[in-house]
Chains A and B, each alone.
Chain A
Amino acid sequence: MNVPLTHLQSMLLFALIISLAFGTLGRRRPIERLKYAAWSFFLFVIVGVAIGWLMYPFSR
């Protein structure tokens, strides 16, 4: 089995899976779960992209 994913796809998939798990485990009501998962996903992506840009000057 081979799963060819780009950097961005890997990050988005990782963020999505973990956010959904966090939302389901961390909250009880469906709407709260959805909000928590969406907020976690947003933070995962934003922080990931921000760290990527912070490392950019050192990549060359």
Chain B
Amino acid sequence: MEEPLNEQLPPEDSVAAPASAPVHSAQVQQDDGRELLALMIGVAGWAVPGLGHALQKMWGRALAVFLAVGALVMLGAGMRGNLFTSRGEDAFATLGYLADLGAGAFYWVARSVETAGPDVSHSAGDYGTRFLATAGVLNLLAALHAYEAARGRKA
């Protein structure tokens, strides 16, 4: 299934005819509205993995992002990876928190799943930490992709 391409070209008459002031103003307003909508889609994509694409009817991508981020979070939490909190003691913990937070709502899902707390004394826990961070970064990448697609950039 080929995903829709949200690429809207400007109407031909706007290029051929000299733009008058009202037309230009309407164009600017339209661009602002579109930018705001794209921003909201990007935020939605961050908050719920895949939602940014689902809102643009890119079902395949929405499902792939949701499942990939969800699988990484569940595996990471199941391996008892370290889920960083906002009370980080150093820069690395803060960066880890930002990466984990990238998973949006799944950050709190991971917190609720990982009831026993992290255990990085074994390699599995260390890998779990990477799984959780990767889930967040992948979701941020997907949200950015959804934002760019909503702006009309080729995606």
Question: What is the 8 Å Cβ interface bit string for chain B, positions 111-142, against chain A (1 contact, 0 not)?
Answer: 00100000000011001101100100010011
- B2 with A29: CB separation less than 8 A: yes
> In the complex, what residues of B have CB within 8 A of residue A57's CB?
none
- A28 with B75: CB separation less than 8 A: no
41-78 of chain B: CB within 8 A of chain A = 60-61, 64-65, 68, 71-72, 74-75, 77-78
The size of the chain B interface, using a CB distance under 8 A, is 29
How many inter-chain contacts with C-beta < 8 Å in the A-B complex?
A: 57
1-22 of chain B: CB within 8 A of chain A = 1-3, 5
> In the complex, what residues of B have CB within 8 A of residue A20's CB?
64, 68
28 contacts between A and B (CB under 8 A): A1-B74, A1-B77, A3-B75, A3-B79, A5-B75, A5-B127, A7-B123, A10-B127, A10-B131, A14-B72, A14-B131, A14-B134, A17-B68, A17-B71, A18-B68, A18-B134, A18-B138, A20-B64, A21-B65, A21-B68, A21-B138, A21-B142, A24-B60, A24-B64, A24-B65, A25-B64, A28-B5, A30-B2
